[in-house]
Amino acid sequence: MVQRTAIFRRQAYLIAVAGGTASGKTTVCHNIINHLGDTNKRVVIISQDSFYRNLTAEDLALAKKGDYNFDHPDAFDDALFKQVLCDLKEGLPVKIPCYDFKTHARVVGKEEIIDNADVVLIEGILVFYDPEIRKLFDMRIFVDTDSDIRLARRAIGLLVQRIQEILRSPRSSSTNSLDSEGKQSDEENHIPSICGDYTPH
């Protein structure tokens, strides 16, 4: 009789951190990691910038002149980005591309391997843009311009406390969304504002 050994795969808890350029997204991510350091949880950061697509010859010519828009949704390889997030949620190991901003291409053989992470922080300016990608996140945080300092210094403790509580409790089917004040965020307000099509009511 053949005995089968079950392989336990840890499903990662995905936290998206969005905001404009230089809004403080990376600072917020590192603050979360520092505060979670005593929980024995493996926390890693993934940047959406790693998923820039290889440029065509035409795009590369624009990039060399500084005329290529790297902040446009089409600049990203959403198919690969989505696949990596899905694999993380399934507890599978993933390879994160290494993007060279000098050559505007991925560096083959320098991918980062992530395996058995408890919490994955995904930061980027357009991580909320694609609805199919957006729904994969277990928690969404939007770092508002001029408000990121308040989040990092005053509300980070409450944010980390909530993450710790979620990690200790059974996984919920609901998604947590926090704005820069640490409150439940109105998805219809902050997500369109990232896409640039939000009109105040």
Domain-located, residue 108: yes
Q: Which residue range(s) make up the domain with 131?
A: 13-195
Domain-located, residue 168: yes
Closest CA to 191 of 132, 134, 120: 134
Predicted model pTM: 0.70
Tens digit of pLDDT for each residue in 86-112? 999 999 999 999 999 888 899 999 999
Lowest mean pLDDT among 68-72, 112-116, 139-143, 157-161: 157-161
Structural domains counted in the chain? 1
- pLDDT category at 70 given cuts 50, 70, 90 is very high
CATH classification of the domain holding 59: 3.40.50.300
